[in-house]
Amino acid sequence: MDRISVKREPNAAFGRGFCSKELGMSEPLACLNGRFLPQSDLHVAYFDAGFILGATGADLLRTFRQRLFRLDDHLARFRRSCNAARIPQSATDAELAEIAERLVTHNAGLLAPDQELALVVYATPGPISYYAGLPGGPGDGPPTLALHTFPLPLSRYARFFRDGAHIVVPTTRHVPLECVDPRIKQRSRLTWWIAECEAHDVEPGSSALLLDANDYVTETAGANFLIVKNDAVLTPPRSSVLGGISLLVVEELCRELGIAFEERPLTVADCLAADEAMLASTPYCLAGVRRINGQRIPWPGPVLRTLLTAWSAKVAVDIPGQVLSAR
């Protein structure tokens, strides 16, 4: 097979050169601070602020037919997240895009033709060196930036398309926007871990749908939430949730298809009375909800089917079929 040569000059500008090691096609590549390396060598220090403080801006993309989908939108959101989280970001979007494309081109070559990749990009303020007995505190060192891929585990989402998603509203509440801007995609996920565990205690395999302090619905740990009522698609205001790229695609498809789309505060009662409910997320795009707090919701609904058909046509992939046939 072809080989990829990755070289870096000691003081080269970010993204313009790579580590001096030649790799065969047998191992995925990753990138750490502008340096390409075998993915098995990707490690972040135990004293990094991403671990010590949970200070991490992140994003996750997927491929269709092994090509990245909405790369520019994801990188723009990643930069907004880093800026809002006060995480320095020296790489330009063009440099990040070049690295991302190179990783996917190389790493997809290790997959079967029908498999897809997920790409993760994350940044932290860098090491907090006094945790390692060294000089320097938070923000004193260079920031950490890493990109890596993994085979998209589509089979994990087959149950959403086979049986519908199940939602539980836990007692755990969404972090108030006055504390952390929900539009930051980040890795400080303890609230979500507790909420998901609480939901699983009620119904194994369910997803937690959190309420804010005013009892309005927000989102799940991995997806934006939408309902359909009177032929209109409704979703919580984007000021209160992460601005999902998949949610953006749904909005665009609704516009193209002449389906009303509206941001509106939603209560649990609104959701239980919905004609349909859906989850929008990068790995599986759009899935229907079958139960909320044990109550059945019409599934699969006509709006869900219409949107999935249009999305599948846009990417030239049968999205439900790909998920259901995944190994």
pLDDT digits (tens, 9 = 90+) for 217-249: 999 999 999 999 999 999 999 999 999 999 999
The whole-number pLDDT of residue 285 equals 98
Residue 45 pLDDT exceeds 90: yes
Q: Which residue type, as a one-letter code, is found at position 234?
A: L
Determine the pLDDT at residue 219.
98
User: Is the distance from CB of 226 to CB of 280 less than 8 angstroms?
Assistant: yes
Q: pLDDT tens, 310-327? A: 999 999 999 999 999 998
Angle subtended at Cα 285 by Cα 280 and Cα 291, rounded to the nearest 5 degrees: 50
Given a contact cutoff of 8 angstroms between Cβ atoms, the answer to whether 28 and 41 are in contact is: no
CA dist 326 and 324 (Å) reads: 6
CA pair distance 235, 224, nearest whole angstrom:
8
* Separation between Cα atoms, residue 59 and residue 73, nearest integer Å: 10
The residue written with tokens 């400080």 in the block is 188
For residue 151 the two structure tokens come to: 């085979």
In percent, the amount of the chain with pLDDT more than 70 equals 92
Distances (CA, A) of 316 to 64, 73, 238, 281, 311: 8, 20, 29, 18, 8
Token pair 């602020």: residue: 49
Q: Is the pLDDT of residue 15 over 60?
A: no
24: pLDDT strictly greater than 80: no
Instruction: Check pLDDT > 90 for residue 12.
Output: no
- Count other C-beta atoms under 10 Å from residue 226's C-beta: 28
pLDDT over 90 for what percent of the chain?
A: 90
- What gap in Å lies between CA 297 and CA 233, rounded to an integer? 15
On the question of pLDDT at 1 being above 90, the answer is: no
Look-up: residue for tokens 């953006």? 248
| Residue 19 confidence class, pLDDT cut points 50, 70, 90 | very low
* Whether residue 117 has pLDDT greater than 80: yes
Counting other chains too, the contacts that 299-303 makes at CB distance below 8 Å and 24 or more residues apart are: 299/164, 300/164, 301/228, 301/275, 301/276, 302/276, 303/228, 303/231, 303/233, 303/259, 303/275, 303/276, 303/278
Q: What is the pLDDT of residue 144?
A: 97
| Three-state DSSP class for residue 168 | strand
Crossing angle for the helix pair 71-84 and 93-108, nearest 10 degrees? 130
DSSP letter for 34, please.
T
Contact 64, 317 (CB under 8 A): yes
**pTM, two decimal places:** 0.91
CA 22 – CA 7 distance, rounded (Å): 8
pLDDT of 327 reads: 83
**pLDDT for 50 beyond 90:** yes
Mean pLDDT check: name the lowest of 14-18, 82-86, 107-111. Answer: 14-18
Confidence of residue 10 (pLDDT cuts 50, 70, 90): very low
- Cβ-in-10-Å burial (0-12, 13-18, 19+) of 112 comes to exposed
Mean pLDDT of 152-180: 96
Between CA 52 and CA 48 the distance in angstroms is 6
- Cβ pair 150, 188 in contact under 8 A: no
Q: What is the pLDDT of residues 59-91, one digit of tens each?
A: 999 999 999 999 999 999 999 999 999 999 989
DSSP state of 131: G
User: What's the rounded mean pLDDT across residues 273-293?
Assistant: 98
Taking all residues of the chain, what is their mean pLDDT, rounded to a whole number? 92
Per-residue pLDDT, averaged over 10-39, amounts to 67
